Amino acid sequence: MGIQLDDDDLWDFISSGHEGAMTTLRGDGWPVTLPVWYVVRDRTVYLRTQPTAKKVARIAHDPRCSFLVSSGERWAELKAAVLTCRAVAVEDEALRTEVLGLFDDKYDAFRTPKSDMPTSSQKKYRGEPVVLRLEMVDAALSWDNHRLRKPAR
């Protein structure tokens, strides 16, 4: 057995994750990687962000991106999935509403109430969020080092 995850294991792993890392490209081509919250619907990753976020401007300039979910502390526990994608803003209002509901279900208990944020942050988080769909353009890279263990005798 190899260390690569099959499709079912891959999407189970991604779906169960809490935080991912998204890499977008600046106008000069240099990558920028940021931690993000995300949800999965029909084996597709969705993000939400504010319309004024710099990643929205970077995506408008160049939609190519990558997305990483990983876990594990020791080498033998490392597990990861890397998606090569194109980020697309979701315009369909029904889908936007559904995806935003998935975010509420997954992250509501982890959010800081806006009233507890500094005034500058409250202003930043006003308005309707942008929902981004990450469309895979290549096969996922994945590994689970746990699979390298020798079988028990």
Looking at the domain assignment, is residue 75 inside a domain? yes
Residue 1 within any structural domain of the chain: no
pLDDT of 14 reads 98
Residue 93 falls within a domain, yes or no? yes
Instruction: Annotate 9-76 with DSSP letters as a single string.
Output: HHHHHHHH-S-EEEEEE-TTS-EEEEEE--EEETTEEEEEE-TT-HHHHHHHH--EEEEEEEE-SSGG
CATH number at residue 89: 2.30.110.10
Classify residue 19: in a domain, yes or no: yes
The number of domains in the chain is 1
Question: Is residue 23 situated within a structural domain?
Answer: yes
* Structure tokens that stand for 2 in this block: 């190899």
Tokens matching residue 118 = 């500094």
Domain assignment present for residue 118? The answer is yes
Q: What is the pLDDT of residue 117?
A: 72
* Structural domain range at position 116: 7-148
Along the chain (153 residues), what's the average pLDDT of each consecutive run of 10 residues? Answer: 88 97 96 97 96 93 97 93 98 97 93 74 75 97 87 68
Q: Which amino acid is at 12?
A: D
Assess if residue 140 is contained within a domain: yes
**What pTM did the predictor assign?**
0.90
For residue 80, the SS3 value is: strand
Residue 94 is assigned to a structural domain of this protein:
yes
Whole-number pLDDT of residue 121:
67
